[in-house]
């Protein structure tokens, strides 16, 4: 979700270059400066281009969505592993990348069973690899518990959650529409939060994690996200639109949670973005943060409503 930064001129301090207030005069009104925090024209151009590619795939070759999602997840894993390794965490890149692709691709023939099997197998392989990759007679690894915990966290955070987004396209019943629903709902949450935050953002939501996120932005996300969910269910699936009153707020919550989760990870690592591949956005992971947990919700709700 887009963050909106609110900067407040400290009360009682004169603005540089201005005359100090004389005794008895009311102090100048509190000044606020609101900025989007990114190059908006570039970000919009990149976002529209990515959206156009996804639309073409869903219309003309829906199952290519799995290839696109798997490629994006591979790059995102590479970005995150690289950042953790730069901070001193010893992670095994290739077992994680190969296992991540297995988690994604085994969802095609075997669904959630394939995802679970690939996830467990990848965790086991990565743990054994980390334990013995220097050879059985070499000194044992240091910080094994820390590094193993981060390994499991990354595998669960990125490919495991993303596999639900990949599986959205598999049912013969409205497969491409399900993928479109996920993207539309997260975009609605993002756009609503951005616009409301820019116009009205005054109260930080969780300043210890993300100082740029405001409660006003979250309220905008709820309004636009809920309206988007009602319209999506009505026009893409012909489902009772009142279900959108449930789906919309839940997706807004998970999208916000995903954004906050990545913000905390970046704060721990002392970085601004996970990567630089997408101008105006950062890295691939910086665009997937809200989609990943939301994919689980959309997959679950649509599977129940559409009975498959």
| DSSP, residue by residue, 102-121 | HHHHTHHHHHHHHHHHHHHH
Chain CA centroid to CA 300, Å = 18
**Residue ranges of the alpha helices (H) in the chain?**
40-60, 64-86, 93-105, 107-132, 144-155, 161-167, 175-200, 215-236, 244-269, 284-288, 291-306
**Predicted pLDDT of residue 41:** 76
Q: Is there a contact between 95 and 159 (Cβ–Cβ < 8 Å)?
A: no
Average pLDDT for 138-149: 84
Each residue's pLDDT tens digit, 273-282:
998 887 767 8
**Predicted pLDDT of residue 113:** 97
pLDDT beyond 70 at 6: no
Average pLDDT for 133-157: 84
Structure confidence at residue 136 as a pLDDT band (50, 70, 90): low
Average pLDDT for 182-202: 94
Average pLDDT for 71-87: 96
Structure confidence at residue 120 as a pLDDT band (50, 70, 90): very high
Each residue's pLDDT tens digit, 244-258:
999 999 999 999 999
**Predicted pLDDT of residue 138:** 60
| Residue 235: how many other CB atoms lie within 10 Å | 11
Q: Is there a contact between 92 and 141 (Cβ–Cβ < 8 Å)?
A: no
């Amino acid at each position: 979700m887009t963050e909106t930064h609110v900067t407040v001129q400290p009360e009682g301090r004169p603005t540089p270059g201005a005359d100090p207030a004389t005794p008895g005069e009311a102090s100048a009104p509190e000044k606020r400066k609101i900025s989007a925090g990114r190059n908006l024209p570039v970000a919009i151009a990149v976002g529209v281009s990515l959206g156009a590619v996804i639309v073409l795939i869903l219309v003309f070759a829906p199952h290519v969505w799995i290839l696109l999602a798997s490629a994006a997840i591979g790059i995102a894993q590479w970005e995150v592993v690289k950042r953790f390794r730069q901070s001193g965490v010893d992670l095994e890149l290739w077992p994680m990348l190969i296992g991540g692709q297995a988690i994604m691709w085994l969802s095609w023939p075997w669904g959630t069973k394939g995802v679970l099997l690939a996830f467990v197998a990848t965790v086991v392989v990565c743990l054994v690899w980390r334990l013995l990759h220097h050879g059985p007679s070499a000194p044992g690894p240091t910080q094994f518990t820390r590094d193993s915990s981060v390994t499991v966290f990354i595998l669960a955070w990125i490919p495991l959650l993303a596999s639900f987004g990949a599986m959205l396209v598999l049912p013969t019943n409205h497969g491409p529409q399900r993928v479109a629903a996920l993207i539309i709902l997260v975009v609605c949450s993002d756009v609503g939060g951005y616009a409301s935050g820019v116009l009205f953002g005054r109260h930080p939501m969780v300043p210890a994690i993300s100082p740029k996120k405001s409660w006003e932005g979250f309220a905008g996300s709820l309004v636009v996200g809920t309206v988007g969910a009602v319209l999506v269910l009505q026009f893409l699936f012909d489902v009772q639109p009142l279900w959108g009153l449930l789906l919309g707020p839940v997706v807004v919550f998970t999208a916000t949670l995903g954004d906050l989760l990545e913000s905390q990870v970046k704060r721990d690592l002392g970085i601004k973005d996970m990567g630089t591949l997408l101008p105006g956005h950062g890295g691939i992971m910086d665009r997937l943060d809200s989609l990943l947990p939301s994919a689980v919700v959309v997959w679950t709700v649509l599977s129940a409503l559409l009975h498959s």
